[in-house]
Structure 1
Amino acid sequence: MGVHVKSEIGTLKRVMLHRPGRELEQLVPGELERLLFDDIPYLKTARQEHDQFAELLRRNHIEVLYLEDLMAETLKLNEHLKEKFIEEFICDSGNNAYLNKKVLKKYLMSIADEKTLVEKTMEGIFFDEIASEGKNPLVDMVRNHKRFLTDPIPNLYFTRDPFAIIGNGVSIHKMYSGTRRRETIYGKYIMEHHPDFAGTVNQYYKRNDLFSIEGGDILNLSNRVLAIGISQRTTPEAIELLAKRIFADEYSEVETILALDIPNIRAYMHLDTVLTQVDYDKFTVYPGILGSLRIYEICKGDKEETLNVSELEQSLAVILATHLGLDKITLIHCGGKNGIASEREQWNDGSNTLAIAPGKVVVYDRNNITNQILREHGLEVLEIASSELSRGRGGPRCMSMPLVRGDI
């Protein structure tokens, strides 16, 4: 079946989500910053909100797949992968996991049910869940037995970031933060071995590449134009490497990559927290970035594996219109003209919309000012509850990984 995404607004047909799991219940105040959270979501309500999100997508004739199910199916259909997956997971889980790799591997190999195994790797493993070999007596005596041997992976419900579909290919990412790097293991195994994708999806970026890049920074503007944010989590080095590989693929239609250099701060961690497309000629934008935004155009160079790069001097609106072949586009300001509302609603992902068709978007209900402005611009706005999901600093676009969209 493969993948097919050549725009941000084409009718969404197939999407991958991750239903929040017990990994959220492993968050504690002292670990929040390291695990990239500002608060602790309440799992029961977070699941209810996420289920509402998934059901809304289904009601709009979108096939919803779950990361945990796809990974479990991959292991079930390829029994020889279980040991390899566990070894790779342990290798990426830090020094304590590696120090205890023998007993940790035995523990994980003993989990017969594939989905239970996958969910266990996601939720984290305590030291006292495995038997000590007695090789580290000082460590065994002084460690806190509530301490994690492998950390939980609480950011997983933001499936947009670990990889990105670009045309008929995929970019599997080197995540910026160590706490998120294991997330890409699942995407790698699914894309390489699940029967829906194996052998049909070209990989433009690999999880062991050197420089960080994340899916929230990648926007498919059209079949020929890609936008990528230079952000807190995506480096220019990664963009150059990705560009060279895309341009080298004879089946890729992408001719131009726009690199948008946004402020390197947590509030704007990805491009899609400040800019998303909602219709053929409309984008939501956080106005706070417009004064400092620098935009670069990247095209294939005259020689193999070279790039032509130039800085564009026009405004964001003019650049987007030009590259989309339009006379003009409309930038819809998050929060409108109210500066306080703009900052508050951007923080709560008012600019992080998920278009499921041209002019039809899914948004958080809490951003009432921005949502009303979207309606005034003629958009169909579908709201979902967000009291707990929003605590993870990501909106509907962050929580969804489109696998197949219709062409526009």
Structure 2
Amino acid sequence: MSSIVEITSQRDTRNKLKHPIHVTSEIGTLRTVLLKRPGKEVENLTPEYLQRLLFDDIPYLPIIQREHDYFAETLKNRGIEVLYLEKLVVETLSNPEIKKQFVDDILRESKANVNGAASVLKEYLLSFSTADMVDKVMSGILKKEIEPEKKSHLYEFMEDHYPFYLDPMPNLYFTRDPAASIGNGLSINRMREPARRRESLFMQYIMKHHPRFAGHDVPVWLDRDFGFSIEGGDELILSEEVVAIGVSARTSARAIEKLALNLFKRQDSIKKVVAVEIPKCRAFMHLDTVFTMVDYDKFTIHPEIQGPQGNMNVYILEKGVDDEHVNITHRTNLQEALKEVLGLNELVLIPCGGGDEIAASREQWNDGSNTLAIAPGVVVTYDRNYISNGLLRQHGIEVIEILSSELSRGRGGPRCMSMPIVRENLHK
């Protein structure tokens, strides 16, 4: 027979999980996750504009969709509810007035008024059904789609070789970055690169207008209007009391401090924010490309982020004397800092590629350290990183491999492609 304490604990957990967002760890059993199936936006990549759109190669759409569907089915087969960004956006914009406001916002943020084209683009977008309009916004609008039958203005005769009025958003299938769930709230992020900055507008609208989230007063710990960049790939929820955030090529120290201040001011659970500085380069784009949590006391890591004797810059932020200040203490050893903030006597760092100079570099490039934990000690990884996967298994981790020949071309792994919405609390 269950004790009164156990029954009360179960009831408390169910009540907490009624909130539309609930994420208090990296490894708690995943219940609901947000994905985006790659679409036409991937086919609008061309060699000339890869760098502008933050890609190194052009994925083959039918195969990347097949691989993404396999990923989604893998999660569903484990009892995880999969929400799709594109579907949520369509449902969010069912109200015609909200739809019009969204079009105004997306055109303004896209700086789409080329030669005064904004009014024509607005009319063009609103001529579609909501579903087709959302697909068009995500995939991009080519100039040739709305060229006038007869030229009547001087600018229409001018050569302009850039093909898009509205740039495609090929990075959308990396749903981790535009927003990040933290406790019962989230950060809606200012993205570092202009090519991705519009992406978090979708989440802003979903939180404000979608019936699943609107009316629940979901706290936004940091909004996308803040002047400094932060991205979800750098935000890791280590426990109910500790958040780790990478100081990276995409996330600034100022945004981390502001998020910490807001968390300490507006909620009581999170006590520490651990800022982890990593090399600022494309290969180490976010903290989760070089470091992820896979069990209570186990993490993957790419050894190259550490200096001699494992040294690197780690800063622990805690509540200060008032709401405008944080206390900051410096550590130089990541492993020791993690043991300290998590209250662990022992902790294992599992090296990507087994620490081998060639294998580690190759598998990290293909996101060997970018694991998605769906329960304590159970992770989803790319099949191509067989050395890292084998090492995880040697450490007692259940590894679920997914197909990755085309998905990996975007330089992001299973964690990058997923935004947890609800996780169960860890048992203490």
TM bracket, shorter-chain basis: over 0.9
> Which of these residues, 257, 272, 275, is aligned with residue 240 of structure 1?
257
Could you say which residue in structure 2 is the equivalent of 1:115?
Answer: 131
Q: Distance in 1 between matches of 2:135 and 2:88?
A: 12
Moved over 6 A (4+): 133-136
> Which of these residues, 229, 234, 252, is aligned with residue 212 of structure 1?
229
> Kindly, what percent of the aligned residue pairs are identical?
53
Structure 1 residues 357-399: Cα deviation after superposition (integer angstroms, max 9, x where no partner): 0000000000000000000000100000100000000000000
Q: Distance in 2 between matches of 1:38 and 1:99?
A: 32
Could you say which residue in structure 1 is the equivalent of 2:74?
Answer: 56
Could you say which residue in structure 2 is the equivalent of 1:342?
Answer: 360
Q: Counterparts in 2 of 1:164-243, with a 5 A limit?
A: 164-200=180-216, 201-243=218-260
Could you say which residue in structure 2 is the equivalent of 1:17?
Answer: 35
Could you say which residue in structure 2 is the equivalent of 1:271?
Answer: 287
> Which of these residues, 301, 311, 318, is aligned with residue 330 of structure 2?
311
Q: For the Cα contact (< 8 Å) 1:296–1:309, is it kept in 2?
A: yes
Letter in 2 for 1:15: V
Could you say which residue in structure 1 is the equivalent of 2:406?
Answer: 388
Q: Counterparts in 2 of 1:67-86, with a 5 A limit?
A: 67-76=85-94, 78-86=95-103
Note if 1:91 corresponds to 2:101: no
Could you say which residue in structure 2 is the equivalent of 1:295?
Answer: 314
Letter in 1 for 2:245: I
- TM-superposed CA distance for 1:2, in Å, is 1.5
Could you say which residue in structure 2 is the equivalent of 1:102?
Answer: 119
Letter in 1 for 2:350: I
Please give the TM-score of this superposition, normalised by the length of structure 1. Answer: 0.96
Q: Distance in 2 between matches of 1:318 and 1:294?
A: 12
Structure 1 residues 234-261: Cα deviation after superposition (integer angstroms, max 9, x where no partner): 00011111111111113x4111000001
Q: For the Cα contact (< 8 Å) 1:124–1:150, is it kept in 2?
A: yes
Q: In structure 2, the residue corresponding to 1:233 is in which secondary structure?
A: coil
Q: In structure 2, the residue corresponding to 1:40 is in which secondary structure?
A: coil
Structure 1 residues 135-181: Cα deviation after superposition (integer angstroms, max 9, x where no partner): 99343223357710000000000000000000001100000000001
Q: Distance in 2 between matches of 1:137 and 1:236?
A: 48
Q: Distance in 2 between matches of 1:144 and 1:294?
A: 47
Q: Distance in 2 between matches of 1:98 and 1:236?
A: 38
Structure 1 residues 240-296: Cα deviation after superposition (integer angstroms, max 9, x where no partner): 11111111113x411100000100101001000000000010000000011162100
Letter in 1 for 2:179: F
- TM-superposed CA distance for 1:132, in Å, is 4.6
Please give the TM-score of this superposition, normalised by the length of structure 2. Answer: 0.92
Q: In structure 1, the residue corresponding to 2:274 is in which secondary structure?
A: strand
Q: Distance in 1 between matches of 2:115 and 2:170?
A: 21
Which consecutive unaligned segments of at least 5 residues does structure 1 have?
none
Q: In structure 2, the residue corresponding to 1:258 is in which secondary structure?
A: strand
Q: For the Cα contact (< 8 Å) 1:126–1:146, is it kept in 2?
A: no
The structure-2 alpha-carbon separation of the partners of 1:312 and 1:145, relative to structure 1 and needing over 3 Å to count, comes to: closer
Q: For the Cα contact (< 8 Å) 2:115–2:155, is it kept in 1?
A: no
Structure 1 residues 286-338: Cα deviation after superposition (integer angstroms, max 9, x where no partner): 0001116210010111122211112113x211111121111111000001131
Letter in 2 for 1:306: H
Q: Distance in 1 between matches of 2:148 and 2:194?
A: 26
Q: Distance in 2 between matches of 1:134 and 1:306?
A: 61
Q: In structure 2, the residue corresponding to 1:331 is in which secondary structure?
A: strand
- TM-superposed CA distance for 1:95, in Å, is 4.9
Q: In structure 2, the residue corresponding to 1:277 is in which secondary structure?
A: strand
Structure 1 residues 54-92: Cα deviation after superposition (integer angstroms, max 9, x where no partner): 00000000000000000101111x332011000000001
The structure-2 alpha-carbon separation of the partners of 1:138 and 1:267, relative to structure 1 and needing over 3 Å to count, comes to: farther
Q: Distance in 2 between matches of 1:71 and 1:218?
A: 24
Q: Distance in 2 between matches of 1:171 and 1:98?
A: 35
Q: In structure 1, the residue corresponding to 2:353 is in which secondary structure?
A: coil
Could you say which residue in structure 2 is the equivalent of 1:285?
Answer: 301
Q: For the Cα contact (< 8 Å) 2:112–2:165, is it kept in 1?
A: no
Structure 1 residues 344-367: Cα deviation after superposition (integer angstroms, max 9, x where no partner): 000000000000000000000000
